[in-house]
Amino acid sequence: MSTATKTAVFAAIIAATAPAAYAQTRTMPETQVAVSSHTIQANEVRASKILGSTVYDAQNRSIGSVKDIVLDKSGRVDNVVLDVGSFLGMGGKYVAVPISDIRTDNNRLTLDRTKEQLQQMAAYELENPASGAGTSQSPPSGGHLGR
């Protein structure tokens, strides 16, 4: 086989395998979410406005404040964590209520429960040392929202 033929065969092999070598595979599924509007709507509330907001009962009494918002693995709001019973950050506890239980009335958050009912609920821990959930670092396994 001549040098020219060997070179041509080598070039053909390289050309045939090059697209496979340079092909990239997607590790993330392509998701497309249609945004219906680029302006906040009347039936929407920004999370930054909810955090720290006072929550009122049906009789317009302050029953706590929003400490945090907890998302599930798919990115949907799972619970709203309320700080109940504290005075100047002392002596209270956190409880979790479903986001569906909280209503917005006249730019205020309302919940159809009394402060006493919230104080009788089980305390909600914002950090889980056993799994690493809720800490500022990602847990040892997982840690990827939506996967």
Q: Which residue ranges form the domains of the chain, and what is each CATH number?
A: 47-120 (2.30.30.240)
pLDDT tens sequence across 17-53: 555 545 555 565 666 666 666 888 877 778 888 999 9
**CA-CA-CA-CA torsion sign (92, 94, 98, 102):** positive
pLDDT, position 29: 60
Main-chain phi, psi angles of 68, to 5 degrees = -160, 165
Q: How far apart are CA 82 and CA 57, in angstroms?
A: 13
Q: 17 and 23 in contact (C-beta within 8 Å)?
A: no
Is the predicted pLDDT of residue 75 greater than 80, yes or no? yes
Is the predicted pLDDT of residue 145 greater than 60, yes or no? no
Share of the chain above pLDDT 90, in %: 33
Half-sphere exposure of 72 (CA within 13 A, CB side): 7
Indicate the pLDDT class of residue 147, thresholds 50, 70 and 90: very low
pTM: 0.63
